[in-house]
Structure 1
Amino acid sequence: MKNIKVGLIGYGMGGRVFHAPLIHYVEGLELVKIRETRAENISIANERYPNAKIVSDAQEIIQDSAIDLVVVAVPNKAHYSLAKEALLAGKHVVVEKPFTVTSKEADELIALAKEKQKVLSVYHNRRWDSDFITVQKVLKDDKLGRLVEFESHYDRFRNTIRPNTWKEEGSLGTGLLYDLGSHLIDQVQVLFGLPHSLTAFISTQRDNGNIADNFELLLHYDQLKVTIKSGMLVKEPLPKYIMLGTNGAFVKYGLDVQEAALNEHTKSLDDEDWGKEPENKWGVIHYEEDGEDFRYPVKSEPGNYPAFYQNVYQAIVGEGELIVTPEQARNTIRIIELAMQSHEEKRTVKFE
């Protein structure tokens, strides 16, 4: 098996929780360098990955001829510049979501990756959430009939402003639409493709807030209404998914368990119950068939975050097609741009 040496730029929450553990776990990938400057993060990285060298400058990763794959896990506004430098240096690149701040930046990176013949992907890990895989199974089983309405939430409750974090600074590329909205938009693309138009409502609800901390985005398809929503003032959990069809409905509460397990660092990715939701989180389907009424819980499919990096490895060594393409991630950014336009102009806009 070919060995791919990986350099990780950034060991904040993204690098610590979502990237380093998976890179370390996936066979064929070797985490050899981590760029980090905060003492507390360096201490954790040294403890967990003693064979990886900690460096203070991203160029020590980008310009290292031994490194094959560069992972960019830094604040959103730096995604474009670091990814561009890595591609120019002849590296394969994975960028934390959201891909870039603008679709123009995304287009430039896509063109550069093609020119350099390098793999470029974006970490849309929520495709491997337990609940999202289960939603796909429910749709495939076709018990709901023709789907007429799909609603997805990604809510939190934080009524204070977190100090000293770039996520609260209010610059382009921050706010819930970029942060959590990019996950929801990507999932909708996987399920239904691109909408023909969209309507957005975006607001700042928390006192003294600098970012958009609430949004509702309506994505218009032929014979299908898709709603994605996120807010920071949702104390009582709302359904994560609501699907309504001509024959019935599916409703699912709760978040995938993998993020918490990775953050707590108490469970091994090798555990046989990795990614499995407890029964109290299973969704409920309720439908009619041949004049009979059926209602029962649907066992959640296991989540599988390692599958993202397993696929990136396969794409790099020529053993498989890339699942999360940069073109898809670019379209997510374009939808975010159009959502902001729709909100500002208070109208429905076409996807173009």
Structure 2
Amino acid sequence: MKIKVGIIGFGSSGKFIHTGLLKAHDGYEITAVASSRAKDVHKILPKAFVAKDFFEIVKRCDVDLVIVCTPNAEHFKHAAAALESGKHVVVEKPFVTKVDDGKKLIALAEKTKKVLTVFHNRRWDGDFLTVKKLIASGKLGEIKQFESHLDRWRPQARADRWKEQNIQGAGTLFDLGPHYIDQMLCLFGKPDRVIADFAVQRDQTLGVDYFHLIAHYGNMRAILHSSYFTDVTPRFQIFGTDGNFLKYGVDPQEDQLKQNQSPRSPNFGIENKNLYGTFINPATAETETIKTEKGNFLKFYDLLHKKIVSGQGEAPISAEEALKVIEIIEESVRVGYC
């Protein structure tokens, strides 16, 4: 059975990530798109119906699933409208910008008996799958410090972009933060407390473009960090009682999708060997190269198809799990310094 899909918003995420994944999956057909750029849509999806008004998409009979790829502050409105119209819903991260809005959507999904899930695709990054496997193996011993960095060299901001503005849901905490908070929660669960630091470091932007979160888990610390003034920091640093792990580079899948590479191609999700991580035993100075697992964003849509069509299994990411990410963000903003 093919699930018929309507995409609301055709920016980078809708155009490259979701469309690229769905076109590679036999279980989906994109039938409609809400966008003001019909010509851009039809270059990629020549048969899709295109409308500027998102209500035209959620009301269509040939749409079973709505994917919300609009600016963060609009996620609640668009997801609610889709659920009320009897559609299953995928919301791009972040789920919502307010915890109360997330609770309302969860209640609405329960009332309408529709699937509501959030696209935390970074659970299927190859480097994260590697970290998850390495920690579970016990090779590092008891984890004492976990660091996750997504730093970029982008000293010049694009002030015309909504993500650079001082508005609800903008800034790097809502843009990059949800992925890496979600990964932290997958590995360690809810922290005892969070300490947070934020800053606006670039002259041309109004939104937060630097954050440093420290999550406390007993005597273990998980550090999530993002800056636009470096790209030479490791993606992961993990210190344990039996060894350390150091990993540079970022998962290739997003760039591959933007280059129109099919997720079904043999090399999709496979990282360059030069970026494999290193296990270090400080006691002996011995090192070991750790091969990066193959990334698999398409797994999200495999699991979702199974859930919608057969009712089997769980949603790829439950809305309740995604709401925990927003709770961490709200708590970080409450206690943080900017």
Using structure 1 for the length normalisation, give the TM-score.
0.92
Quote the offset at 1:84 in angstroms: 0.4
Quote the offset at 1:223 in angstroms: 3.1
Q: Following the alignment from structure 1 to structure 2, what is the Cα–Cα distance between the partners of residues 274 and 209? A: 35
1:150-194 residue CA offsets vs partner (Å, 9 max, x unmatched) = 000011121122042111121021111111011110000111111
Q: Following the alignment from structure 2 to structure 1, what is the Cα–Cα distance between the partners of residues 165 and 284? A: 54
Matched position secondary structure for 1:336: helix
Identity within the alignment, %: 39
1:342 matched to 2:338? The reply is no
Matched position secondary structure for 1:321: coil
Q: How does 1:44-55 map to 2 (within 5 A)?
A: 44-55=40-51
Q: Following the alignment from structure 1 to structure 2, what is the Cα–Cα distance between the partners of residues 300 and 150? A: 18
Partner of 1:254: 249
Quote the offset at 1:21 in angstroms: 1.1
Higher mean C-alpha displacement, 325-334 vs 159-168: 159-168
Which runs of at least 4 in structure 1 moved beyond 2 Å after TM superposition?
42-45, 291-294
1:297 matched to 2:302? The reply is no
Q: Following the alignment from structure 1 to structure 2, what is the Cα–Cα distance between the partners of residues 277 and 43? A: 34
Confirm or deny: 8 A CA contact 2:252 2:271 kept in the other structure: yes
Q: 1:233 aligns with which of 229, 232, 246?
A: 229
1:211 matched to 2:198? The reply is no
Matched position secondary structure for 2:265: coil
Partner of 1:276: 270
Q: Following the alignment from structure 2 to structure 1, what is the Cα–Cα distance between the partners of residues 281 and 103? A: 44
Matched position secondary structure for 1:188: helix
Partner of 2:305: 313
Q: Following the alignment from structure 2 to structure 1, what is the Cα–Cα distance between the partners of residues 99 and 119? A: 17
Partner of 2:110: 114
Confirm or deny: 8 A CA contact 1:143 1:287 kept in the other structure: no
Counterpart residue identity of residue 325, structure 2: T
Q: Following the alignment from structure 2 to structure 1, what is the Cα–Cα distance between the partners of residues 243 and 110? A: 45
Quote the offset at 1:209 in angstroms: 2.4
- RMSD between aligned alpha carbons? 1.4
Quote the offset at 1:264 in angstroms: 1.8
Q: Following the alignment from structure 1 to structure 2, what is the Cα–Cα distance between the partners of residues 321 and 329? A: 14
Partner of 2:2: 3
Confirm or deny: 8 A CA contact 1:206 1:233 kept in the other structure: no
Counterpart residue identity of residue 262, structure 1: L
Counterpart residue identity of residue 139, structure 2: K
Q: Following the alignment from structure 1 to structure 2, what is the Cα–Cα distance between the partners of residues 272 and 254? A: 20
Matched position secondary structure for 2:269: coil
Partner of 1:349: none
Counterpart residue identity of residue 270, structure 1: R
Confirm or deny: 8 A CA contact 1:72 1:83 kept in the other structure: yes
Q: Following the alignment from structure 1 to structure 2, what is the Cα–Cα distance between the partners of residues 306 and 122? A: 14
Confirm or deny: 8 A CA contact 2:271 2:294 kept in the other structure: yes
Q: How does 1:326-341 map to 2 (within 5 A)?
A: 326-341=319-334
Confirm or deny: 8 A CA contact 2:145 2:220 kept in the other structure: yes
Confirm or deny: 8 A CA contact 2:124 2:299 kept in the other structure: yes
Matched position secondary structure for 1:301: coil
Quote the offset at 1:293 in angstroms: 5.5
Counterpart residue identity of residue 183, structure 1: H
Counterpart residue identity of residue 29, structure 1: Y
Higher mean C-alpha displacement, 211-220 vs 52-61: 52-61
Count of paired positions = 337
Counterpart residue identity of residue 307, structure 1: K
Counterpart residue identity of residue 304, structure 2: V
Quote the offset at 1:136 in angstroms: 0.9
Counterpart residue identity of residue 122, structure 2: R
Partner of 1:25: 24
Q: Following the alignment from structure 2 to structure 1, what is the Cα–Cα distance between the partners of residues 136 and 159? A: 44
Quote the offset at 1:292 in angstroms: 5.8
Q: Can you give the 5+ residue segments of structure 1 that lack an aligned partner in the other structure?
A: 347-352
Q: Following the alignment from structure 2 to structure 1, what is the Cα–Cα distance between the partners of residues 16 and 313? A: 26
Using structure 2 for the length normalisation, give the TM-score.
0.96
Q: Following the alignment from structure 2 to structure 1, what is the Cα–Cα distance between the partners of residues 16 and 227? A: 23
1:99-120 residue CA offsets vs partner (Å, 9 max, x unmatched) = 1111111110011101111100
Q: Following the alignment from structure 2 to structure 1, what is the Cα–Cα distance between the partners of residues 103 and 312? A: 26
